Structure 1
Amino acid sequence: MIRRSWAQTASIEETLALWAASLREIKKRIRPLFNQDRVARNAGLFLEGLLGDEQRKTGWMRAEAAGDPGPWRQQAILGRRDWDADGLRDIVRDYVIEHLADHDAVLVIDETGFLKQGKASCGVARQYTGSAGKITNCQIGVFAAYVSRHGHAFIDRALYLPKEWTDDPTRLKAAYVPADAGFATKPRLATRMIARAIAASVPFKWVAGDTVYGVGDIEQQLRKAGKGYVLGVSSAHVFQSWGKRRSVAGAAADIARTLRSSDWKSLSTGAGTKGPRLHDWCYLELADLEVEESNDTNHGLWTRGLLIRRHIADGDLAFFTTWCPAGTSIETLVAVEGHRWAIEDSFETAKNEFGLDHNESRSWHGWHRHVSLVMLAFAMMAVIRHRANPVVPKKKQRRTKTKAKASPPRH
Structure 2
Amino acid sequence: MSKTYTPELPPDVLQRLDAYAARFRPDFARARQAAWAHVYLHGLLIDGERKSIEPLSRRVALPAGLDVADPEQALQQFVNQAAWDERDVWRRHRAVMAEAFASPRGIFVFDDTSFPKQGKHSVGVQRQYCGALGKRANCQVAPSVRYVSPEGHCPLAMRLYLPGRWLGDEERLDEAGVPEPERRPLSKGQIALELLDRVRAEGLPGRFVVADAGYGVSGDFRDGLEQRRLRYIVGVTDELVGFTAPPSWEEPKAGTGGRPRKRHRLAEGTPRPMNLKELAARTPRHKGTWREGTKGKLSGRFAWLRVWPASGWATGECVGAEPVRLLIEEQADGKIKYAVSNLPPRTSGRPLTT
In 2: Cα distance, 1:251 partner to 1:329 partner: 24
Q: 1:130 to 1:49 in 2, by over 3 A?
A: closer
Structure 1 equivalent of residue 288 of structure 2: 266
Taking only aligned residues, the RMSD between alpha carbons, in angstroms, comes to 3.0
Q: 1:39 to 1:147 in 2, by over 3 A?
A: same
In 1: Cα distance, 2:81 partner to 2:144 partner: 25
Give the letter aligned to residue 276 of structure 2: A
Compare 101-110 and 161-170 and name the one that shifted more: 101-110
Structure 1 equivalent of residue 134 of structure 2: 133
Q: 1:243 Cα shift?
A: 6.5
1:228 equivalent among 220, 231, 256:
231
Give the letter aligned to residue 195 of structure 2: M
1:187, 1:213 within 8 Å by CA — same for their partners in 2?
yes
Compare 19-28 and 229-238 and name the one that shifted more: 19-28
Structure 1 equivalent of residue 335 of structure 2: 316
Q: Secondary structure of 2:200's match? A: helix
Q: 1:109 Cα shift?
A: 0.5
Q: Deviations over 1:311-357 (max 9, x none)?
A: 122x21111111113433336679xxxxxxxxxxxxxxxxxxxxxxx
Q: 1:2 to 1:167 in 2, by over 3 A?
A: closer
Structure 2 equivalent of residue 98 of structure 1: 99
Compare 55-64 and 159-168 and name the one that shifted more: 55-64
Q: 1:276 Cα shift?
A: 4.3
Q: Percent identity?
A: 29
Structure 1 equivalent of residue 240 of structure 2: 237
1:194-209 paired onto structure 2 within 5 Å: 194-209=196-211
Return the structure number with greater helix share: 1
Give the letter aligned to residue 176 of structure 1: G
1:267, 1:331 within 8 Å by CA — same for their partners in 2?
no
In 1: Cα distance, 2:336 partner to 2:163 partner: 30
Structure 2 equivalent of residue 44 of structure 1: 38
In 2: Cα distance, 1:258 partner to 1:55 partner: 49
1:60-209 paired onto structure 2 within 5 Å: 60-64=54-58, 65-67=60-62, 69-181=70-182, 182-209=184-211
Q: 1:274 to 1:95 in 2, by over 3 A?
A: farther
1:249, 1:255 within 8 Å by CA — same for their partners in 2?
no
1:241, 1:248 within 8 Å by CA — same for their partners in 2?
no
Q: 1:51 to 1:168 in 2, by over 3 A?
A: same
Q: Secondary structure of 1:188's match? A: helix
In 2: Cα distance, 1:100 partner to 1:171 partner: 41
Q: Deviations over 1:227-280 (max 9, x none)?
A: 211111110111224469xx99521111111112xx323233x55554544222
In 1: Cα distance, 2:352 partner to 2:125 partner: 36
In 2: Cα distance, 1:316 partner to 1:205 partner: 30
Give the letter aligned to residue 277 of structure 2: A
Size of the aligned set, in residue pairs, is: 304
2:112, 2:144 within 8 Å by CA — same for their partners in 1?
yes
Q: 1:60 Cα shift?
A: 3.3
Structure 1 equivalent of residue 306 of structure 2: 285
In 1: Cα distance, 2:272 partner to 2:303 partner: 13
Normalising to structure 2: TM-score of the pair? 0.77
Matched, 1:59 2:83: no
1:232, 1:320 within 8 Å by CA — same for their partners in 2?
yes
1:49, 1:66 within 8 Å by CA — same for their partners in 2?
no
Q: Secondary structure of 1:136's match? A: strand
2:7, 2:46 within 8 Å by CA — same for their partners in 1?
no
Matched, 1:35 2:49: no
In 2: Cα distance, 1:162 partner to 1:331 partner: 42
Q: 1:170 Cα shift?
A: 0.9
In 2: Cα distance, 1:208 partner to 1:179 partner: 31
Q: Secondary structure of 1:160's match? A: coil
Q: Secondary structure of 1:280's match? A: strand
Q: 1:72 Cα shift?
A: 1.7
In 1: Cα distance, 2:351 partner to 2:75 partner: 45
Give the letter aligned to residue 143 of structure 1: S
Give the letter aligned to residue 193 of structure 2: T
In 1: Cα distance, 2:91 partner to 2:152 partner: 18
1:191, 1:217 within 8 Å by CA — same for their partners in 2?
no
Q: Secondary structure of 2:78's match? A: helix
Q: Deviations over 1:26-61 (max 9, x none)?
A: 323211221111111111111122232444433233
Give the letter aligned to residue 287 of structure 2: K
Q: 1:57 to 1:216 in 2, by over 3 A?
A: same
Q: 1:24 Cα shift?
A: 3.8
Structure whose CA Rg is larger? 2
Structure 2 equivalent of residue 306 of structure 1: 326
In 2: Cα distance, 1:145 partner to 1:90 partner: 14
In 2: Cα distance, 1:216 partner to 1:180 partner: 25
Q: 1:190 to 1:271 in 2, by over 3 A?
A: farther
| Greater relative contact order (Cα < 8 A, sep 6+) | 1
Structure 2 equivalent of residue 217 of structure 1: 220
Q: 1:70 to 1:2 in 2, by over 3 A?
A: closer
Q: Secondary structure of 2:158's match? A: strand
Q: 1:217 Cα shift?
A: 2.1
In 2: Cα distance, 1:106 partner to 1:331 partner: 21
